[in-house]
């Protein structure tokens, strides 16, 4: 009986309600980052480079400063690498300055902007995660990248029904029930729920917008 209840909770109707609730919560409480407020895929790609091994809060000011000084790929293409480094230096990982410049050069020379994950991965410095994140942010893809943070929320939501699923299977199990056209928003909602309430060690289930349908808080 308990297994059946868990299966029902992780089934289509219940899961759709939970995911819609997550998006509703995000619309009111989600974090506001400048790379979430742009429709420029180049800027999102640069944000993904800056976010590697860096906290979002630290990246915010660097991102703003970077594009205030060099608003376009052409500007960054001709910028001095040392000047770029001076702006992003608070984040560490100095090689990112040259990667940003290489990306800007390649982007500026494009005949057509790639609009899928495979095409984005052909750009210098862009791996699978950054490509998937950018495609999702632009609403080009219905399957955002999965990392340890988003995986934690999804595994807890599905409970033991997530056992044995790899990241791709986990993403399909969740995102196939997302409200139509809201995959990007759901991805950001999951990340923000993880940051605000679904902590690794002691989740704040009482404050979680999806706790009523969560396998972790309803074992």
Give CA–CA dist 10/176, Å, rounded. Answer: 12
Q: Record the pTM.
A: 0.89
Instruction: Yes or no: say if 98 and 81 are a contact pair by the CB < 8 Å rule.
Output: yes
Rounded to the nearest integer, the mean pLDDT of the chain is 90
Return the number of other C-beta atoms located less than 10 Å from residue 29's C-beta: 14
CATH 3.20.20.70 correct for 2-32+143-213: no
Task: Let me know: does 170 contact 146? Beta carbons within 8 Å.
Answer: yes
The answer to whether 190 and 154 have CB atoms below 8 angstroms apart is yes
CATH architecture of 40-127: Orthogonal Bundle (1.10)
Confidence of residue 149 (pLDDT cuts 50, 70, 90): very high
Q: Where are the domains of the chain?
A: 2-32+143-213, 40-127
- Is residue 37 scored above 70 in pLDDT? yes
Is pLDDT above 90 for 131?
Answer: yes
């Amino acid at each position: 009986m308990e297994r059946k209840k868990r299966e029902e909770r992780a089934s289509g109707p219940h899961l759709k309600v939970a995911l819609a609730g997550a998006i509703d919560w995000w619309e009111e409480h989600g974090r506001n980052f400048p790379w979430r407020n742009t429709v420029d895929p180049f800027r999102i790609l640069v944000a993904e480079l800056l976010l590697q091994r860096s906290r979002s809060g630290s990246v915010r000011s660097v991102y703003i400063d970077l594009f205030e000084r060099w608003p376009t790929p052409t500007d960054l293409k001709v910028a001095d690498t040392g000047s770029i480094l001076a702006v992003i230096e608070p984040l560490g990982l100095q090689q990112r300055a040259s990667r940003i410049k290489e990306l800007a050069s390649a982007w500026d020379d494009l005949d057509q902007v790639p609009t899928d994950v495979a095409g984005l991965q052909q750009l210098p410095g862009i791996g699978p995660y950054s490509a998937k994140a950018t495609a999702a942010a632009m609403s080009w893809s219905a399957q955002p990248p999965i990392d340890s943070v988003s995986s934690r929320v999804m595994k807890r939501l599905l409970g033991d029904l997530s056992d044995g699923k790899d990241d791709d299977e986990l993403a399909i199990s969740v995102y196939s029930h997302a409200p139509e056209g809201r995959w990007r928003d759901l991805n950001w909602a999951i990340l923000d729920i993880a940051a605000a309430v679904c902590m690794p060690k002691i989740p704040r289930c009482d404050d979680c917008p999806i706790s009523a349908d969560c396998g972790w808080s309803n074992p």
